[in-house]
Amino acid sequence: MANILLTTRCNRSCPYCFAEREMAGSDVDSLMSWENLIYIADFLLMSGQRRVSLLGGEPTIHPECVDYILYLLERGFDVTVFTNGMLGKSRREEFRRHLTGISRERLTFVCNLNDPLQTPAPHTERERIEEFLSLMGPWVSPGFNIYRPDFTLDFLFDAINRFGLKRHLRLGITHPIPGKGNGFIRPAEMRQVVERLYSYREIFEATRVSPGLDCGFPMCKFTDEELGWLNRFRGSPHFRCGAAVDITPDMSVYHCFPLSDYQRRSLFEFDSLLEIEEHFRQLRQQIRVEIAGIFEECDGCRQREDDVCSGGGVCQLLNRFVDEAPVRIPEIEHEIAKNRHPL
Amino acid sequence: MKLPKIVIPYNKTLLRSMSGQIVAVRVKSIPQAAEAAAHVRDSGNALFCVIVEANSPLAELALHDGIKDIPLAIMAPAMGKFRRVTAILPVLRGGNIRIYLPCDRPDNITSLRLLSSLGIHCCALFAPGETNWEELADLMTYAVLERAPHAPIEPFEFIASSYEPSSYLDWGRIFFDDPRHFLHLDARGRVALSRREASMGDFIAAGIAEIAAADEFPAISERINSWRYRLAENHPCAFCAGWKICLGRFAPEAGEDGGCAGFFQEMLDVARQRGAQRAGGEELRVWQP
Ligand code: SF4
Ligand code: SF4
Ligand code: SF4
């Protein structure tokens, strides 16, 4: 899978934002161009890809966001747009005119929703999001970023019912941006997160909403009963690190937001998505030679050997290196050193 | 040599005055195109194509299923908003249509690539003095060598597929600009060697009947052979590596570097690569997505 970043700007500032590093380091006016988009579409098609995600910053800020979506659909891609839902009136009107006729199988929005109590937002922001959900609800899967262990999900079930959203809730845990000291879920908090999630089991079942786990969840923090519960939903859950490749407006490719400084390359250096994936697989492998996973038990863990669980996120491991012993791989050590806190 | 095809403005009287000709008729709008095509067919002449010289962007043209069977060369100043093009994409893909966009604006070079990537046959119009040769070279490389499915972009596709190392190549016919293949008439039936000359009132005959055989008509044969003079004149084009596929079409003044030479040299390389691909039996991909 590939994520195309249409812009590095965002119109919201979530406390847990992983894209922070990419946005901070970028030219504020960095926008994906038509030339680059066509190149990427050709590149992905020739790599056998038929699905693509649009990200940002906030992708709907891009002035030609609607045209880009339509273009990718015309090229035969199924498109997922990751949005915060904060669209202005005119952009909403564009969506209504041009996107509401598209099949929900081919176009999906993952709308990242924040808990109105734990992450309060100004009234105007909430209003905009609600208007977006009222318009595009049937195309929207709600997304939620868990950034504190005492999170609540009730408001999401309300939103699903109220706006007729897709009955699939995408759950991500917030990851560390190595060296940035941002808020994230620490390995020691994972069990609490899982327990909290499982406490919503009955509501998931009653509302027929399926949970979907993003990257970085550790498998061993789920009991057999909890795993059995997850398994009942669409296919088995995965406990991986290494979801998709991100492509920026300036045609850089990197592993994911938290690792945007690590072995970042230009898309033009590669002939296929497979080559890029291999490049980043090697990056993960190099790091995991140093440390197998987020827990000591990861070293020699059967689930890791069987490739069922990655041993948590590489971002967590790199974040540890920032403050702990240096790694031996010069290129990675170089990037880490830049982020190391002065003693 | 057979008599070339005739390019005329849409004019019923003019059409009635001719018969047995192969005609390309110029109109200003899509609704006129259907009407003009019907009149050519009823006039006892054969329709080569309808040339739509539109003033508005492609996205604004009222293309509809009814024009599917008419061969159309649509010359528009720009593509327009993509979201509006999506509404006419089925007609653009399903019809016998080629879209011409002028390359004096960088966004048109991008639009040509975009249309091609969606399976729409198109053509780059470029002229001396107003072309960004580097951007055009990128488009040309995409047109000829890109392996992802896409429709041909002329004149690059024509050049790459017609180029023979042992001979010169004139591709003006792609733009209706080659008197071996096209003569241009004005509304009164006067004959010019090109569209530009017709609009400037520069005629070679008062009527098509004066031209019995094109190669024996002095003005036509002189034009066809005019490139030879550059060689005799020691013009910079005579020493240009791209000459074989350009024939001085963009002729810069002595001492000037218009950028064309680098472009056509690259075009030659690309044409050779394409020839090598063909010779190696490498499979060419179907372009229609
Ligand atoms: S690899 Fe690590 S995180 Fe995954 S199940 Fe094993 S011990 Fe847990
Ligand atoms: S390093 Fe792995 S777990 Fe962390 S954000 Fe990237 S893909 Fe997800
Ligand atoms: S490309 Fe060469 S032959 Fe053609 S106009 Fe330029 S200098 Fe002359």
For chain B, give the longest Cα–Cα distance. Answer: 53
Sheet strands side by side (includes A51-55) = A210-213, A168-173, A140-146, A107-112, A78-83, A51-55, A2-5, A245-247, A252-254, A265-266
Per-residue pLDDT averaged across B216-232, rounded? 83
**Which two structure tokens, joined as six digits, stand for A19?**
């894209």
Q: Which residues pair with A259 in a beta bridge?
A: none
**Which two structure tokens, joined as six digits, stand for A323?**
């403050």
Q: Do A45 and B148 touch (CB under 8 A)?
A: yes
Is A75 an interface residue toward B (CB < 8 Å)? yes
Q: Do B289 and A76 touch (CB under 8 A)?
A: yes
Q: Which residue has the tokens 């040309």?
A: B140
Q: Looking at the predicted structure, is the pLDDT value of residue A158 above 90?
A: yes
**Given pLDDT bands bounded at 50, 70 and 90, which one contains residue A13?**
confident
- Rounded distance between C-alpha atoms, residue B169 and residue A323, angstroms: 67
Q: Which residues in chain A have Cβ-Cβ distances shorter than 8 Å to B139?
A: none
- Rounded distance between C-alpha atoms, residue B192 and residue B220, angstroms: 9
B238 CA → ligand 3 middle, Å? 8
- Ligand 2 pocket check for A175: Cβ under 6 Å: yes
Long-range contacts of B243-252 (CB under 8 A, 24+ apart): B244/B167, B244/B168, B244/B169, B244/B268, B245/B159, B245/B163, B245/B168, B245/B169, B245/B171, B245/B271, B247/B168, B247/B169, B247/B170, B249/B128, B249/B172, B250/B127, B250/B128, B250/B131, B251/B128, B252/B128
**Given pLDDT bands bounded at 50, 70 and 90, which one contains residue B289?**
very low
pLDDT for res B254: 55
For A43, name the nearest residue in chain B, comparing CA atoms only: B148
pLDDT for res A49: 95
For A94, name the nearest residue in chain B, comparing CA atoms only: B83
Q: Do A70 and B113 touch (CB under 8 A)?
A: no
Sheet strands side by side (includes B182-185) = B153-154, B122-125, B97-102, B72-75, B46-53, B22-27, B5-9, B182-185, B191-192
Residues B76/B101, Cβ–Cβ less than 8 Å: yes
DSSP label of B28: S
pLDDT for res B247: 85
pLDDT for res B283: 47
Q: Of A43, A67, A74, which is closest to B118 when you measure between CB atoms?
A: A74
The CB density around residue A201, as the number of other CB atoms within 10 Å, is: 14
Q: Is the pTM of this model over 0.95?
A: no
- Rounded distance between C-alpha atoms, residue B180 and residue B193, angstroms: 9
A94 CA → ligand 3 middle, Å? 47
pLDDT: which is higher, B245 or A78: A78
Is B147 an interface residue toward A (CB < 8 Å)? yes
Q: Whose CA is nearest to atom 2 of ligand 2?
A: A241
pLDDT for res B277: 78
For A35, name the nearest residue in chain B, comparing CA atoms only: B110
Minimum-distance ligand 2 atom for the alpha carbon of A18? 5
Q: Looking at the predicted structure, is the pLDDT value of residue B233 above 80?
A: no
**Given pLDDT bands bounded at 50, 70 and 90, which one contains residue A182?**
confident
pLDDT for res A10: 85
Ligand nearest to the CA of A280: 2
Q: Looking at the predicted structure, is the pLDDT value of residue A341 above 60?
A: no
DSSP label of B119: T
* Distance in Å, alpha carbon of B125 to nearest chain A alpha carbon: 19
pLDDT for res B263: 92
Q: Of B82, B118, B147, which is closest to A67 when you measure between CB atoms?
A: B82
The predicted-structure confidence for B124-173, as pLDDT tens digits, reads as follows: 998 877 788 999 999 999 999 998 999 999 999 999 999 888 888 889 99
For all residues of chain B together, what is the average pLDDT? Answer: 89
- Ligand 3 pocket check for B236: Cβ under 6 Å: yes
List chain A domain ranges.
Answer: 2-339
**Given pLDDT bands bounded at 50, 70 and 90, which one contains residue B256?**
low
Return the CATH fold of A2-339: TIM Barrel (3.20.20)
Q: Which residue has the tokens 């924040």?
A: A114
Per-residue pLDDT averaged across B212-224, rounded? 85
Per-residue pLDDT averaged across B233-243, rounded? 83
- Ligand 3 pocket check for B260: Cβ under 6 Å: yes
- Rounded distance between C-alpha atoms, residue A24 and residue B223, angstroms: 61
End-to-end CA distance of chain B: 39
Is B19 an interface residue toward A (CB < 8 Å)? no
